[in-house]
Amino acid sequence: MADEEGEDYWNSSVSHSKVFSFDDANEGEGGHISRMFTATGAPAPREVEPESSNYSLDLTTSEVDRLSITSGGSLRNYAEDEPKSITLQPAKESSFLSITRKSNQTKPESPPKSKFSPTSSIISSSKSTKVVLAKPGNQQSASNDTLTLTRKSSSSSTHSHVNSELSHIRKSLDFVTGKDQWIKISPKDMVWRIVQNKTYNLEHYRSLDEKIALLDYSLNLHDTNAILVAILHLKNTVSETLFFEEMSRKPDAVDQYVTYLEEDGRSEECLNLLQNVDRTEEATILQLKLAVESPTMEQRLKQLDATIRRLPALSPAHQKFSELTNVKRYRSLMEIQRPIEEHDERLAREGKTELFIQFPRKSLLGMSLIQTLFYCCMYHFDKPETNFCSPHFLRKTFAMGEKQYLWTALDALSKTQKWTEIQSLLTDRTGWFGAPKPKALIGFEKVVDILIRNSSPPDVLAYYLRLIDEPETRLHCARKCKCHSVIIDTLAALKDFSKLEEYSSRLDTGTNEYKYCQEVLHRHR
């Protein structure tokens, strides 16, 4: 602070040591009393700005001639005869606290004059901050002038926030002030810098060999972040044709980049990459995936049409026919599902169809061929073959295998408890003179497993259990569903009466099963 009217800023001769104590009234917060004060005797003021508190200033002695306060850009002087208690209002600008004495003023009662040391010591603690101005020789006075700055209202401490900001700035300056930021280092060292999560600059690597070296070193370290950095640097600095050419030589890099593009939702860019690096099978699968995941039926059909047009260019000659046929079959299935869905949705909404009430339906759109067949067997098994809702129509249109059709139809019919339809499905009329004969291409053991899974009644299970030719297999399946009559008959057919007696002992006396078992044992004794 500049001198004013011949006043010397704390260079006057005084007889006492001056001790100024700045105490925090709110000791619980452990903060300093202010963030701004002028350290007397120092060559420059220490500035801290009070943020949200008022401070009162109490002068306990009359040794000081003048007190000057600068706050918010305005200067106020207080003479000795003015009030000793002053309130500091916080301001946006810095606030200075200054205590001065006239250089030509002396006091009779004062000891010989001596100048203060131009330096001052600052004592800080969690409770207060003191600025001590000592005269030469570290002599202490019997009486001290004490200036106390007291906080009237507390404010939150910001030390932790300031420290974190300083830490971040120091880390940034470590690279900004470093001598090596503009020095070109080897690709290997640069990759290590990327792996260690340090700041890096790839602008120096302009030749193709250097860019490829960055990618090779990244692949050797198997660091995903470094690999993606090297790939993106290569992509952004070379032509698209050259980028695809170099990537086709590095399948591991393609895998990493494809994963990155898929996670980022850039499916079209990923598809273009796969096509240009000769990964046609993956490109085809991705194209079909985009079609299947389309939100509406119209968009789905549009994507399937695009897939059909694109497949001949994506697939090699020996794969064109099979892949194209499968996609066309799937598109045909979408076309069949749409009218069935519209028809069944209307019936379910009307609430007049008992089957839809007993077994609530799910939307058919987007289902696979097997799921569509299961749906049609549940709700439209009795439809004629010419009706597109009929499972027989699906079977014929898509050339489904006999076993595949039988397994799916049995599962759907047993769930809806259509036992007559199941019996008709498992009856063969091609025998002598057209006589009906039970027949199951999947085996009656599998038929029983399907019936057990769908909680079929005991009499239905017993009928199909007896159609299993192998006695041991029949016994195993009968025990699985606890069909007592079949177990008793099978043990009797095997003439294993010891096991039959043992089994009889486990049955409850008086039950029909127990009586039947005793009757069989009595018959064969």
Tell me which long-range contacts 277-285 makes (C-beta under 8 A, separation of at least 24). 277/244, 277/247, 277/248, 278/248, 279/254, 280/314, 280/315, 280/316, 280/319, 281/315, 281/319, 282/258, 283/314, 284/311, 284/314, 284/315, 284/323
* SS3 state of residue 369: helix
- Average pLDDT value for residue range 436-451: 91
Question: Which stretch of DSSP H or E encloses residue 18?
Answer: strand 18-23
Instruction: Note the pLDDT of residue 77.
Output: 52
Most confident of 70-74, 299-303, 351-355, 449-453: 449-453
Instruction: Note the pLDDT of residue 398.
Output: 93
Confidence of residue 317 (pLDDT cuts 50, 70, 90): low
Indicate if the pLDDT at residue 152 is higher than 70: no
Confidence of residue 146 (pLDDT cuts 50, 70, 90): very low
Indicate if the pLDDT at residue 525 is higher than 90: no
Indicate if the pLDDT at residue 187 is higher than 70: yes
Confidence of residue 251 (pLDDT cuts 50, 70, 90): very high
Least confident of 155-169, 368-382, 461-475, 501-515: 155-169
Instruction: Note the pLDDT of residue 168.
Output: 63
Sign of CA dihedral 398, 403, 409, 415: negative
If one compares 159 and 141, the residue with the highest pLDDT of the two is 159
Instruction: Note the pLDDT of residue 417.
Output: 92
Name the pairing type of β-strands 128-133 and 18-23: antiparallel
**In sequence order, what are the beta bridge partners of 57?**
86, 149
Indicate if the pLDDT at residue 517 is higher than 80: yes
**In sequence order, what are the beta bridge partners of 99?**
67
- Average pLDDT value for residue range 121-129: 35
Least confident of 41-50, 78-87, 516-525: 41-50
Indicate if the pLDDT at residue 12 is higher than 60: no
Provide the token pair at 108: 């009779």
Round to whole Å and give the CA distance between 158 and 89: 20
Confidence of residue 166 (pLDDT cuts 50, 70, 90): confident
What is the chain's percent helix, strand, coil content, to nearest 5?
Answer: 50, 10, 40
DSSP 412-467: HHHHTT-HHHHHHHTEE--SGGG--EE--TT-HHHHHHHHHHTT--HHHHHHHHTT
Nearest to 145, CA basis, from 13, 15, 20: 20
Instruction: Note the pLDDT of residue 313.
Output: 62
Taking a C-beta distance cutoff of 8 angstroms, is the pair 412, 374 a contact?
yes
Indicate if the pLDDT at residue 268 is higher than 80: yes
For 336-350, the pLDDT digits (tens) are 999 999 999 999 999
Indicate if the pLDDT at residue 291 is higher than 60: yes
Distance of CA 426 to the CA centre of its chain: 51
Most confident of 144-153, 169-178, 388-397: 388-397
Question: Is 257 exposed, middle or buried, given 0-12, 13-18 or 19+ CB atoms closer than 10 A?
Answer: buried
Angle (CA) 149 155 158, round 5°: 105
Helices 187-195 and 208-221, axial angle in degrees (round to 10): 40
For 57-98, the pLDDT digits (tens) are 444 434 444 444 444 444 455 554 544 444 444 433 334 444
Indicate if the pLDDT at residue 355 is higher than 70: yes
Greatest C-alpha distance within the chain: 148
Sign of CA dihedral 245, 246, 250, 253: negative
Instruction: Note the pLDDT of residue 160.
Output: 75
Instruction: Note the pLDDT of residue 416.
Output: 93
* 231: Cβ contacts below 8 Å, ≥ 6 apart: 215, 247, 253, 256, 257
Confidence of residue 314 (pLDDT cuts 50, 70, 90): low
- Average pLDDT value for residue range 42-57: 38
For 360, phi then psi, to 5°, come to -55, 135
Round to whole Å and give the CA distance between 167 and 147: 35
Instruction: Note the pLDDT of residue 307.
Output: 79
Domain map (residue ranges) of the chain: 7-157
Round to whole Å and give the CA distance between 270 and 273: 5
Round to whole Å and give the CA distance between 191 and 219: 10
Residue 203 identity (one-letter amino acid): E
What does the chain come to in residues?
Answer: 525
Indicate if the pLDDT at residue 49 is higher than 60: no
**In sequence order, what are the beta bridge partners of 101?**
8
Round to whole Å and give the CA distance between 170 and 77: 41
If one compares 210 and 15, the residue with the highest pLDDT of the two is 210
Least confident of 90-99, 209-218, 326-335, 473-482: 90-99
Q: 10 Å Cβ neighbour count for 488?
A: 23
Indicate if the pLDDT at residue 421 is higher than 60: yes
Least confident of 20-24, 162-166, 174-178: 20-24
- Average pLDDT value for residue range 445-462: 93
For 499, phi then psi, to 5°, come to -70, -30
Helices 497-505 and 484-493, axial angle in degrees (round to 10): 160
Indicate if the pLDDT at residue 522 is higher than 90: no
Confidence of residue 182 (pLDDT cuts 50, 70, 90): low
How confident is the prediction for the chain on average, in pLDDT? 72
Indicate if the pLDDT at residue 351 is higher than 80: yes
- Average pLDDT value for residue range 438-443: 90
Instruction: Note the pLDDT of residue 71.
Output: 44
If one compares 121 and 295, the residue with the highest pLDDT of the two is 295
Instruction: Note the pLDDT of residue 496.
Output: 87
Indicate if the pLDDT at residue 424 is higher than 50: yes
Angle (CA) 205 207 208, round 5°: 110
Round to whole Å and give the CA distance between 373 and 220: 50
Confidence of residue 433 (pLDDT cuts 50, 70, 90): low
Indicate if the pLDDT at residue 55 is higher than 70: no
If one compares 65 and 193, the residue with the highest pLDDT of the two is 193
Confidence of residue 434 (pLDDT cuts 50, 70, 90): low
